[in-house]
Amino acid sequence: MPTPNPSSSPAPRVRPRIHIPLPRLEVENFGPIKKADVEFGSLNVFVGPQAAGKSLFLQLMKLVVDVSHVKQEFKRAGVDWQGKFETFMDVYFGEGMKSLWSARRTSVKFDGDVISLPELVENTKAKKAESMFFIPAQRVLAFRDGWPQAFTYYDPGVPFALREFSEELRLMISDLGTAETLFPVPRRLKDEFRELLQKHIFPGFNLKVDAQRAQKRLVLSDAGKESGGLPFVVWSAGQREFVPLLLGLYWLMTPAGASRRKGIEWVVIEELEMGLHPRAIAVVMLMIFELAARGYKVCISTHSPQVLDAMWALKHLKANKATPEALLSVFEAPKTAPMIKLARDVMLKSQRVYYFDRDAGITRNISGLDPFSEDVGESGWGGLSEFSSRANDAVATAVANANS
């Protein structure tokens, strides 16, 4: 048998890359949304003015992927929508929201499949576990006297997203013992996150469960004291807004071996910046990156230009093959091995930014975040940088005139 000629041997077989289509939700004529076409990456940011439809779009996505779970929760809580789709819309989206859907005009497609929302709601029977964890903008309302409320505490006209979030938090912490410390806790979050949060949000304080009274409550206690603490009502606005978010992040960032909470694929966080100083926002963005690095599909709605700054930096650092340390320097984060791994992992993830144009009623993909784009929505980053641009222009003109 002749010896094979190495030069004529076939090239190694390269396995073709399998293209996995990204999840996509298309919506037309749903409340203020005339047309929205969103293809989701690993990290998704939604911007636009109030009442442009961002929250409604995300709640609709929750309903599409979790309709069975939603119906189970309503049944468990004794919420009777009497089999009427209009009533369901009011108890899911909130009182007065049944007019969002028009049988003649509204269109919804998920991954190319046409969805009739009335049929989806009325006909879905199979039990399916929750797949999207939703942290709503109204999260501070989940707390009454420093303790999250049960699903059934709220009026049926309160949006489902808030009621469910409050219930999830209640179940998570209701069985904790006396004076149980919730923050800082070993094995809850990375050491680096805990140190940054202590510095920028809880300086000198621990978050604890106070069980000295008949009703448990969360308090902020002096880190050097064993008992007592400040009740919820006297916390700073940032602390009141952040604690529900922190507990939601606890729930998602499982301390055990699994990187994700079982069954949960999607995470929605609305207006993470509320009440927070810019340095605290930077810490929260790092924690959002952690969620994406763990494999969650993360969706954020925001009115903060700093969040868009972070996305712009992430995009261009990736494009220019920067080191993970360069990304960490943006956030003044420690360049430890765990944080370098986090930065490296998130730089491999896909990202999207969508602008909800309230005047036109449409969404536009502005993921390029190009300040020189002819699209005003993109160049102004969804309106979040317009004020800074006008201020710069006004000052530059004044300086030029003064020197002329």
Compute the half-sphere exposure of residue 275: CA atoms within 13 Å on the CB side of its CA. 17
- Torsion sign, CA atoms 125, 128, 132, 136: positive
Token pair recorded at residue 155? 């009026």
Q: State the first-to-last Cα distance of the chain, in angstroms, to the nearest integer.
A: 91
Give Cα separations from 143 to 14, 176, 310, 329 (angstroms): 56, 17, 30, 35
pLDDT at 15: 47
Closest CA to 142 of 156, 162, 161, 168: 162
Would you write out the chain's pLDDT as a tens digit for each of its 404 residues? 444 444 443 444 444 445 567 899 999 999 999 999 999 999 999 999 999 999 999 999 999 999 999 999 999 999 999 999 999 999 999 999 999 999 999 999 999 999 999 999 998 887 888 999 999 999 999 998 889 999 999 998 899 999 999 999 999 887 665 558 889 988 788 999 999 999 999 998 999 988 777 788 899 998 766 667 899 999 999 999 999 999 999 999 987 667 889 999 999 999 999 999 999 999 999 999 999 999 999 999 999 999 999 999 999 999 999 999 999 999 999 999 999 999 999 999 999 999 999 999 999 999 999 888 888 888 876 766 666 666 666 766 767 777 77
Q: How far apart are CA 250 and CA 246, in angstroms?
A: 6
Cβ-based neighbours of 220, under 8 Å, separated by 6 or more = 202, 205, 206, 207, 208, 229, 230, 235, 239
pLDDT at 7: 42
Contact call for residues 123 and 111 (beta carbons, < 8 A): no
